[in-house]
Structure 1
Amino acid sequence: MNNKTKNIHNQNKNKLFVASIATVVALALFASPLVAIDDAFATKKKNKAQQSISQSQSSAQNALCASGGTTFLSCNNVNFQHQFNSGNNALAQTGQGENSAEQSISQSQSSSQNSQVVSGGDTIGSGNNINIQSQTNTGNNAAAQS
Protein backbone atom coordinates (compact mmCIF):
# COMPACT_ATOMS: atom_id res chain seq x y z
CA MET A 1 0.00 0.00 0.00
CA ASN A 2 1.49 3.34 -1.00
CA ASN A 3 1.42 6.56 1.06
CA LYS A 4 -1.45 8.07 -0.91
CA THR A 5 -3.64 5.04 -0.27
CA LYS A 6 -2.69 5.01 3.44
CA ASN A 7 -3.66 8.67 3.78
CA ILE A 8 -7.05 8.08 2.15
CA HIS A 9 -7.62 5.05 4.38
CA ASN A 10 -6.71 7.05 7.56
CA GLN A 11 -8.95 9.92 6.48
CA ASN A 12 -11.85 7.51 6.03
CA LYS A 13 -11.17 6.05 9.51
CA ASN A 14 -11.18 9.53 11.08
CA LYS A 15 -14.39 10.46 9.29
CA LEU A 16 -16.03 7.24 10.45
CA PHE A 17 -14.87 7.88 14.04
CA VAL A 18 -16.20 11.48 14.03
CA ALA A 19 -19.48 10.33 12.45
CA SER A 20 -19.86 7.64 15.13
CA ILE A 21 -19.31 10.15 17.94
CA ALA A 22 -21.78 12.57 16.37
CA THR A 23 -24.36 9.79 16.09
CA VAL A 24 -23.95 8.82 19.77
CA VAL A 25 -24.26 12.44 20.91
CA ALA A 26 -27.34 12.98 18.74
CA LEU A 27 -28.99 9.84 20.13
CA ALA A 28 -28.21 10.91 23.70
CA LEU A 29 -29.70 14.35 23.13
CA PHE A 30 -32.78 12.89 21.50
CA ALA A 31 -33.35 10.04 24.00
CA SER A 32 -32.66 11.87 27.27
CA PRO A 33 -36.11 13.55 27.52
CA LEU A 34 -37.76 10.22 26.72
CA VAL A 35 -35.86 8.35 29.42
CA ALA A 36 -36.63 10.96 32.12
CA ILE A 37 -40.41 10.79 31.81
CA ASP A 38 -41.04 11.16 35.56
CA ASP A 39 -38.96 14.31 35.76
CA ALA A 40 -40.27 15.82 32.54
CA PHE A 41 -43.97 15.29 33.15
CA ALA A 42 -44.06 14.76 36.95
CA THR A 43 -47.50 13.22 36.88
CA LYS A 44 -46.97 10.63 39.61
CA LYS A 45 -45.31 12.86 42.21
CA LYS A 46 -47.58 14.45 44.78
CA ASN A 47 -46.24 15.66 48.11
CA LYS A 48 -48.04 17.62 50.77
CA ALA A 49 -46.47 18.63 54.05
CA GLN A 50 -47.57 21.00 56.79
CA GLN A 51 -45.32 21.81 59.71
CA SER A 52 -46.13 24.06 62.59
CA ILE A 53 -44.53 25.19 65.82
CA SER A 54 -46.89 27.54 67.61
CA GLN A 55 -46.98 29.08 71.06
CA SER A 56 -49.81 31.09 72.56
CA GLN A 57 -50.24 32.97 75.83
CA SER A 58 -53.27 34.78 77.18
CA SER A 59 -54.02 36.59 80.41
CA ALA A 60 -57.20 38.39 81.49
CA GLN A 61 -57.04 40.15 84.86
CA ASN A 62 -59.61 42.19 86.77
CA ALA A 63 -59.39 43.88 90.18
CA LEU A 64 -62.00 45.87 92.15
CA CYS A 65 -61.36 47.55 95.49
CA ALA A 66 -63.87 49.41 97.63
CA SER A 67 -62.52 50.52 100.97
CA GLY A 68 -63.57 52.61 103.92
CA GLY A 69 -60.02 52.42 105.28
CA THR A 70 -56.51 51.45 104.24
CA THR A 71 -55.96 49.14 101.26
CA PHE A 72 -52.26 48.39 101.15
CA LEU A 73 -51.03 46.15 98.25
CA SER A 74 -54.55 44.85 97.63
CA CYS A 75 -56.52 44.01 94.50
CA ASN A 76 -53.38 43.30 92.46
CA ASN A 77 -53.14 40.62 89.80
CA VAL A 78 -49.73 39.17 88.99
CA ASN A 79 -49.16 36.78 86.11
CA PHE A 80 -45.84 35.29 84.91
CA GLN A 81 -45.89 33.12 81.82
CA HIS A 82 -42.88 31.52 80.21
CA GLN A 83 -42.64 29.24 77.21
CA PHE A 84 -39.49 27.67 75.85
CA ASN A 85 -39.37 25.49 72.75
CA SER A 86 -36.19 24.02 71.34
CA GLY A 87 -37.99 21.39 69.27
CA ASN A 88 -37.52 20.92 65.54
CA ASN A 89 -39.68 19.68 62.69
CA ALA A 90 -37.90 17.65 60.03
CA LEU A 91 -39.58 16.08 57.03
CA ALA A 92 -38.39 14.16 53.96
CA GLN A 93 -40.60 12.89 51.16
CA THR A 94 -40.08 11.31 47.78
CA GLY A 95 -42.65 11.34 45.03
CA GLN A 96 -43.25 7.63 44.56
CA GLY A 97 -46.97 8.06 45.04
CA GLU A 98 -49.02 10.44 47.10
CA ASN A 99 -47.40 11.61 50.34
CA SER A 100 -49.05 13.68 53.02
CA ALA A 101 -47.62 14.62 56.41
CA GLU A 102 -48.71 17.03 59.11
CA GLN A 103 -46.50 17.81 62.08
CA SER A 104 -47.20 20.13 64.94
CA ILE A 105 -45.59 21.24 68.19
CA SER A 106 -48.03 23.44 70.03
CA GLN A 107 -48.05 25.11 73.44
CA SER A 108 -50.84 27.19 74.91
CA GLN A 109 -51.32 29.01 78.22
CA SER A 110 -54.27 30.92 79.55
CA SER A 111 -54.94 32.77 82.78
CA SER A 112 -58.09 34.49 83.95
CA GLN A 113 -57.91 36.24 87.31
CA ASN A 114 -60.45 38.29 89.24
CA SER A 115 -59.97 40.01 92.58
CA GLN A 116 -62.57 41.92 94.61
CA VAL A 117 -61.95 43.44 98.03
CA VAL A 118 -64.46 45.38 100.12
CA SER A 119 -63.01 46.54 103.42
CA GLY A 120 -63.77 48.82 106.31
CA GLY A 121 -60.15 48.54 107.57
CA ASP A 122 -56.71 47.35 106.59
CA THR A 123 -56.47 44.71 103.82
CA ILE A 124 -52.73 44.10 103.77
CA GLY A 125 -51.79 41.29 101.36
CA SER A 126 -55.42 40.42 100.60
CA GLY A 127 -57.26 40.03 97.31
CA ASN A 128 -54.13 39.35 95.22
CA ASN A 129 -54.06 36.78 92.42
CA ILE A 130 -50.70 35.34 91.45
CA ASN A 131 -50.30 33.00 88.51
CA ILE A 132 -46.99 31.52 87.36
CA GLN A 133 -46.96 29.26 84.30
CA SER A 134 -44.03 27.71 82.52
CA GLN A 135 -43.83 25.32 79.59
CA THR A 136 -40.75 23.74 78.10
CA ASN A 137 -40.64 21.58 74.98
CA THR A 138 -37.42 19.93 73.87
CA GLY A 139 -39.07 17.29 71.71
CA ASN A 140 -38.64 16.82 67.96
CA ASN A 141 -40.91 15.80 65.11
CA ALA A 142 -39.35 13.81 62.30
CA ALA A 143 -41.06 12.10 59.37
CA ALA A 144 -39.68 10.31 56.32
CA GLN A 145 -41.86 8.95 53.54
CA SER A 146 -41.13 7.38 50.21
Structure 2
Amino acid sequence: MNKTNIHNKNKLIVASIAIVVALALIASPLVAMDNDAFATHKKGNKAKQSIEQSQSSNQNAGCVSGGTTFLSCNNLSLQHQKNTGNNALAQSGQGGNVGDQSISQSQSSSQTSNVVSGGDTIGSGNNINVQNQENSGSNAAAQS
Protein backbone atom coordinates (compact mmCIF):
# COMPACT_ATOMS: atom_id res chain seq x y z
CA MET A 1 0.00 0.00 0.00
CA ASN A 2 1.19 3.48 -0.70
CA LYS A 3 1.11 6.45 1.70
CA THR A 4 -2.10 7.90 0.23
CA ASN A 5 -4.05 4.66 0.73
CA ILE A 6 -2.83 4.32 4.35
CA HIS A 7 -3.71 7.95 5.04
CA ASN A 8 -7.21 7.51 3.56
CA LYS A 9 -7.71 4.27 5.52
CA ASN A 10 -6.75 6.06 8.78
CA LYS A 11 -9.20 8.86 7.98
CA LEU A 12 -11.93 6.29 7.43
CA ILE A 13 -11.22 4.61 10.78
CA VAL A 14 -11.23 7.96 12.64
CA ALA A 15 -14.47 9.00 10.92
CA SER A 16 -16.10 5.66 11.78
CA ILE A 17 -15.12 5.99 15.45
CA ALA A 18 -16.46 9.56 15.52
CA ILE A 19 -19.79 8.41 14.07
CA VAL A 20 -20.11 5.60 16.64
CA VAL A 21 -19.34 7.99 19.52
CA ALA A 22 -21.81 10.58 18.19
CA LEU A 23 -24.56 7.94 17.90
CA ALA A 24 -23.85 6.75 21.44
CA LEU A 25 -24.11 10.30 22.77
CA ILE A 26 -27.35 10.91 20.92
CA ALA A 27 -28.91 7.57 21.90
CA SER A 28 -27.91 7.59 25.59
CA PRO A 29 -30.58 10.09 26.73
CA LEU A 30 -33.21 8.02 24.94
CA VAL A 31 -32.12 4.89 26.82
CA ALA A 32 -31.86 6.79 30.13
CA MET A 33 -35.45 8.02 30.04
CA ASP A 34 -36.52 4.92 31.96
CA ASN A 35 -34.00 5.64 34.71
CA ASP A 36 -34.63 6.70 38.31
CA ALA A 37 -33.05 10.05 37.51
CA PHE A 38 -36.09 10.98 35.45
CA ALA A 39 -38.47 9.96 38.26
CA THR A 40 -40.85 7.88 36.18
CA HIS A 41 -44.17 6.94 37.66
CA LYS A 42 -43.21 3.27 37.69
CA LYS A 43 -40.25 3.53 40.02
CA GLY A 44 -39.25 5.09 43.30
CA ASN A 45 -36.18 7.17 43.94
CA LYS A 46 -33.31 6.91 46.36
CA ALA A 47 -31.04 9.89 46.98
CA LYS A 48 -28.34 10.60 49.52
CA GLN A 49 -26.86 14.05 49.64
CA SER A 50 -24.66 15.69 52.23
CA ILE A 51 -22.26 18.52 52.91
CA GLU A 52 -19.75 17.64 55.61
CA GLN A 53 -17.00 19.70 57.21
CA SER A 54 -14.70 18.55 59.99
CA GLN A 55 -11.72 20.04 61.81
CA SER A 56 -9.51 18.72 64.56
CA SER A 57 -6.65 20.24 66.54
CA ASN A 58 -4.32 18.42 68.93
CA GLN A 59 -1.64 20.46 70.67
CA ASN A 60 0.86 19.60 73.39
CA ALA A 61 3.47 21.85 74.96
CA GLY A 62 6.00 21.16 77.70
CA CYS A 63 8.53 23.56 79.21
CA VAL A 64 11.16 22.96 81.85
CA SER A 65 13.14 26.00 82.91
CA GLY A 66 15.64 26.74 85.68
CA GLY A 67 14.69 30.42 85.66
CA THR A 68 11.79 32.62 84.67
CA THR A 69 9.50 31.27 81.97
CA PHE A 70 7.99 34.12 79.96
CA LEU A 71 5.35 33.63 77.22
CA SER A 72 6.25 29.98 76.73
CA CYS A 73 4.36 26.72 76.22
CA ASN A 74 1.17 28.36 74.97
CA ASN A 75 -1.31 26.63 72.66
CA LEU A 76 -3.51 28.61 70.28
CA SER A 77 -6.18 27.00 68.11
CA LEU A 78 -8.40 29.02 65.76
CA GLN A 79 -10.97 27.08 63.73
CA HIS A 80 -13.59 28.50 61.39
CA GLN A 81 -16.05 26.71 59.12
CA LYS A 82 -18.33 28.53 56.72
CA ASN A 83 -20.91 27.02 54.38
CA THR A 84 -22.80 29.45 52.15
CA GLY A 85 -24.01 26.88 49.62
CA ASN A 86 -27.39 25.28 49.33
CA ASN A 87 -28.33 21.62 49.66
CA ALA A 88 -31.53 20.92 47.68
CA LEU A 89 -33.16 17.58 46.89
CA ALA A 90 -36.34 16.94 44.87
CA GLN A 91 -37.92 13.60 43.98
CA SER A 92 -41.06 12.45 42.23
CA GLY A 93 -42.32 8.92 41.65
CA GLN A 94 -45.06 6.48 42.61
CA GLY A 95 -42.89 3.64 43.81
CA GLY A 96 -41.82 5.39 46.98
CA ASN A 97 -39.01 7.85 47.56
CA VAL A 98 -36.14 7.64 50.01
CA GLY A 99 -34.15 10.80 50.65
CA ASP A 100 -31.25 11.25 53.03
CA GLN A 101 -29.95 14.78 53.21
CA SER A 102 -27.72 16.54 55.69
CA ILE A 103 -25.35 19.39 56.36
CA SER A 104 -22.85 18.45 59.04
CA GLN A 105 -20.10 20.45 60.72
CA SER A 106 -17.86 19.28 63.55
CA GLN A 107 -14.84 20.64 65.36
CA SER A 108 -12.67 19.31 68.15
CA SER A 109 -9.66 20.56 70.02
CA SER A 110 -7.39 18.88 72.53
CA GLN A 111 -4.74 20.98 74.27
CA THR A 112 -2.29 20.26 77.07
CA SER A 113 0.43 22.46 78.44
CA ASN A 114 2.92 21.66 81.21
CA VAL A 115 5.30 24.24 82.66
CA VAL A 116 7.95 23.53 85.25
CA SER A 117 9.91 26.64 86.16
CA GLY A 118 12.42 27.70 88.79
CA GLY A 119 11.09 31.28 88.63
CA ASP A 120 8.06 33.18 87.43
CA THR A 121 5.83 31.70 84.71
CA ILE A 122 4.45 34.96 83.30
CA GLY A 123 2.14 34.38 80.33
CA SER A 124 3.10 30.72 80.06
CA GLY A 125 1.14 27.46 79.89
CA ASN A 126 -2.01 28.97 78.40
CA ASN A 127 -4.46 27.12 76.16
CA ILE A 128 -6.60 29.27 73.87
CA ASN A 129 -9.22 27.72 71.60
CA VAL A 130 -11.59 29.71 69.38
CA GLN A 131 -14.09 27.81 67.21
CA ASN A 132 -16.74 29.19 64.88
CA GLN A 133 -19.25 27.44 62.63
CA GLU A 134 -21.49 29.27 60.19
CA ASN A 135 -24.05 27.91 57.76
CA SER A 136 -25.95 30.53 55.79
CA GLY A 137 -27.08 28.13 53.05
CA SER A 138 -30.39 26.34 52.94
CA ASN A 139 -31.26 22.65 53.24
CA ALA A 140 -34.48 21.87 51.33
CA ALA A 141 -36.06 18.56 50.32
CA ALA A 142 -39.24 17.92 48.34
CA GLN A 143 -40.87 14.59 47.51
CA SER A 144 -44.08 13.70 45.77
**TM bucket, shorter chain:** 0.3 to 0.5
Which is greater in Rg? 1
Relative to the length of structure 1, the TM-score reads 0.40
Relative to the length of structure 2, the TM-score reads 0.40
